[in-house]
Chains A and B, each alone.
Chain A
Amino acid sequence: DIQMTQSPSSLSASVGDRVTITCRASQGISNYLAWYQQKPGKVPKLLIYAASTLQSGVPSRFSGSGSGTDFTLTISSLQPEDVATYYCQKYNSASWTFGQGTKVEIK
């Protein structure tokens, strides 16, 4: 089965910083990738699908890129409300696999 590996596992950045999270698939998955945000004690929220399409209502400071095996989620200017764990997820070959998550904190 295809494995999804996120890096880093956690990061601390200042408000206003540009933050980048990487997700790597063990095999090519085209653009069949989504990103979710999960705030503490809350339900995961869809941010991006098809690797780079922003879900309706999600702030434009979030963006996604990549195709094949390497993908990135970028927060262009980190805000206090962005403190959360972020998960990538692939969907292909009748299998939906999540990355292990990246915890984002404010420095």
Chain B
Amino acid sequence: QLQLQESGPGLVKPSETLSLTCTVSGGSISSSSYYWGWIRQPPGKGLEWIGSIYYSGSTYYNPSLKSRVTISVDTSKNQFSLKLSSVTAADTAVYYCARHKYQLPQHFDYWGQGTLVTVSS
């Protein structure tokens, strides 16, 4: 059974860089069939797609966040990572990692449990 698990600091200071890692188990991140993505949800609000990465390193980013986001993959560790720079309180959210297919349909079928990141001094 595929499992995804987010990890990283739960508290980040304003203007600093948020860094999270998603570890994939029960399947290979190097599968040619899937992209791996990040989604976030501010407290009490809706879902926002941040970006997605293929095992080759090809990425897609949400245009509204693109200037601050970097997603990378480490196939040797079966992990992919998120970096979000220059964070503010508006970046406080539960961050989820998830999987979607490379080919259509590209819905998110497996999700991590999510990790709350609070931006505060």
Identity of the chain A residue whose Cβ is nearest the Cβ of B104 in the assembled complex: A32
B49 x A97 contact (CB < 8 A):
yes
Residue A60, interface by CB 8 Å: no
In the assembled complex, the CB of A23 is this many whole angstroms from the nearest CB of chain B, namely: 13
Q: Which residues of B contact A50 (CB under 8 A)?
A: 105, 107
Of B46, B60, B62, B63, chain A has the most CB atoms within 10 Å of the CB of B46
* Residue from B52, B104, B113, B114 within 8 A of A96 (CB atoms): B52
- Bound-complex Cα distance A55 to B114 (A): 21
Interface flags, A64-104, vs B, CB<8A=1, else 0: 00000000000000000000000101010011111111000
Q: Which residues of B contact A89 (CB under 8 A)?
A: 47, 49, 107-108
- Residues of B in contact (CB 8 Å), total 21
Secondary structure type dominating chain A contacts: strand
- Residues of A in contact (CB 8 Å), total 23
B113 x A98 contact (CB < 8 A):
no
B105 x A32 contact (CB < 8 A):
yes
Of B49, B63, B105, B112, chain A has the most CB atoms within 10 Å of the CB of B105
In the assembled complex, the CB of A44 is this many whole angstroms from the nearest CB of chain B, namely: 6
Question: Contacts A43-B111, A91-B100; is A96 near B49 (CB within 8 Å)?
Answer: yes
Within 8 A of A (CB), among B63-121: 63, 96, 100, 104-109, 111-114
In the assembled complex, the CB of A84 is this many whole angstroms from the nearest CB of chain B, namely: 13
Question: Which residues from chain B sit less than 8 Å from chain A, CB to CB?
Answer: 37, 46-49, 52, 60, 62-63, 96, 100, 104-109, 111-114
Question: Which residues from chain A sit less than 8 Å from chain B, CB to CB?
Answer: 1, 32, 34, 36, 38, 43-44, 46, 49-50, 53, 55, 87, 89, 91, 94-101
Ranked 7 nearest A-B pairs via Cβ:
A34-B107, A91-B106, A49-B107, A96-B49, A98-B47, A94-B60, A50-B105
- 5 A-B pairs with CB atoms under 8 Å apart are A43-B113, A89-B107, A98-B46, A99-B46, A101-B46
Given contacts A43-B96, A91-B107, A96-B37, 18 further A-B contacts (CB under 8 A): A38-B47, A43-B112, A43-B113, A43-B114, A44-B96, A44-B108, A46-B108, A49-B105, A49-B109, A50-B105, A50-B107, A53-B105, A91-B100, A91-B105, A95-B49, A96-B52, A98-B46, A98-B47
